[in-house]
Each structure stands twice: as C-alpha cells, then as structure tokens.
Amino acid sequence: MIVLIFTGGTISMRHDPASGGAVPSLRGRDILALAPGIDALAALEIDDWGAFPGPHMSVARMWALRGRIADHLARADVDGVVVTHGTDSLEESAYLAARSIASDKPVVFTGAMRTSTDLGWDGPANLGASVRVAASQDARGAGVMVVMSDRIYSALDVTKTHTHSLDAFDSPGLGPLGVVDDGEVIFRRSLPERSPVLTPDEPATPVDIVSAYAGADSRLLDASRKSGCGVVIAAMGRGNLPPDMVPGVERWIADEKPVVITSRALRGRVGCTYGYPGGGRKLAELGAIFAGSRRPQQARIDLMLALGAGLHAPAIRALLDGM
C-alpha cells in the first residue's frame, strides 16, 4: 500500500479566469482521474491533506505534514508514502521530513512545473514515477527522496535550480540518486550513513536567513535579533562577510543566540580559509557555527529542529559539522 498525500501545489492547479492565473483546484481523485494507469502500479490510498501553493507552506504546516507522514509510515499496512507538494518550498518540507523521520519505508516528494490546463502538464508523469519509486524494494532505506522528470534525488541535497523548466530540480555537484527508465527504478549512487534525526515537540521559531552582499551592513541582523532565537547567514563564497556585518554577528553571539554560517553559492562547504576582517576564520573565532555544505534553507531547518530539541551551541556545532 502506497499512501498519496496531496498538499496542493502546481500539480493541483488550473488556470482561473477570475484571478488571472493558476490556483489550486484539483483534489487527489481528480488528479488520479487525469492520470490513468497510476492505480495499476500499486495499491493506493488517498489523503487529501491540503490545497496550498508552495509559498503558503509555513513552518507550522510543514511540521503538521511531517507528523501526517510519520503517522502513515507507522502503519503496518503501508509500504511507502508519496507527497505531492508545491515546488517553491518542496525541498524545505522534504528536508524537514528527512531530518526528523527515521524509517526504512520510502517517502517520495513530487510536484509539477506546469498546471493541468497547460499543454505540457508534467504532473501525471511525476506522480507515476514517484509511485514506482515508493513501491520499489530498492528504495527501502533510501530515506526521503524527491522525484521529478524521472530523476530520483535525495531530500538531503536536492534544490530547485530553475524557475520554470520541467527539469527544475538538481543536486548540485552530486547529481541524482537514480532514474526511472521505461518503468524501471534504477539507483546509481548510494548515500553516506544517515545522521541521527531530530524529533522535538516542535521546531523553534523564528529563525531568519540573512543574505550577505557587497556593501551589506548589520541592519537586518539587528532587526532579526530582536525576536529571533537563531539566525542563518547566507555568506559569500567560503563563508565570508563584509566587515560592516561583523558587529551584528558579535551582538547575536553576545546575546548567546546561535549564528550559523552558510554560503549563497550552490556548491561547496564553508570553512575557515580567510583571516581578514569578516573572513571565515575570524567569524569562527567569534563563535559563529559553520554549516558545512548545507544551503541556507537547509541549515535553517536543522537549526530550528536543534533549538526545538533544546540543543545549545556546542551540540549544534557538532550536529552541523557532521554533514
């Protein structure tokens, strides 16, 4: 049995003349009716959880969805779960699930880049491929995955790399875990040993992402610090900041609130390479925490989970340094 959790997104949308654009319109059975043959791939159960566009997925909604996935996985009659999701925030919900659910049963997130009223609607193909992966014995133990355009990605490293193309998702520098080819599920690379999951009662919020750019100063860091419980900085390159952002970092650390350094670059790790004012080594000496190869949106989720679980800076540093 594969449970299909429908949450909305472009895969559920049609063009609405009144609004002048695409809006969620289709329920789970409507989508399956427009995708004949999927019900022959496995026994299916429909869970119409929501009808949200990707940008409407709040932290509370992502956490509730994570709980629904975990509940289905705990059932003895369920072999895997497929989640349809808006692509704008799909990678965040999938990463949250990957970092907070421990199960050998496959969980597959998917969506669409075109609506059901577009000529090139990719929803049925993506949904069908996802059901094939979730039903595959080879997918057991692979954790949470994202399947788009017949490519299988790990939720731990996938991101949306194009605004509108059908092949909008990729794992920069790594590539897909595998493919769905002529109905066959083929895995081509393995994953490193999975880190322990974090299962707080709820994620801590708010945790903001503040981006670095040429000439940036501390204004946004200071504004975030007033109510934030932690902050993620999308730094330049290897993990470096303009000098005028450094006082803002110092004030966060003086308040004993974690500052996590990531990079706005798509590939590579942050590190202590540079020793000039604002360089990574100087930030580490101040007490900033480096997030390895995580992208900013991933580090934010890990920080929310860690703070929600009651972890403090040394434990958060050990957690983020492990990936």
Q: Give me the catalytic one of 10, 84, 115, 159.
A: 10
The answer to whether 81 touches 37, Cβ cutoff 8 Å, is no
Q: Which two tokens stand for residue 323?
A: 């990936």
10 is an active site residue = yes
CA–centroid distance for 221 within its chain: 24
Peptide bond into 247 cis (omega under 30): no
Cα–Cα–Cα angle for 309, 247, 291, nearest 5°?
Answer: 40
User: Distance between CA 92 and CA 212 in Å, rounded?
Assistant: 21
How far are the Cα atoms of 58, 232, 248, 285, 309 from residue 200, in angstroms, in the given order? 17, 19, 29, 30, 5
CB 269 within 8 A of CB 246: no
Q: Which residues are catalytic?
A: 10
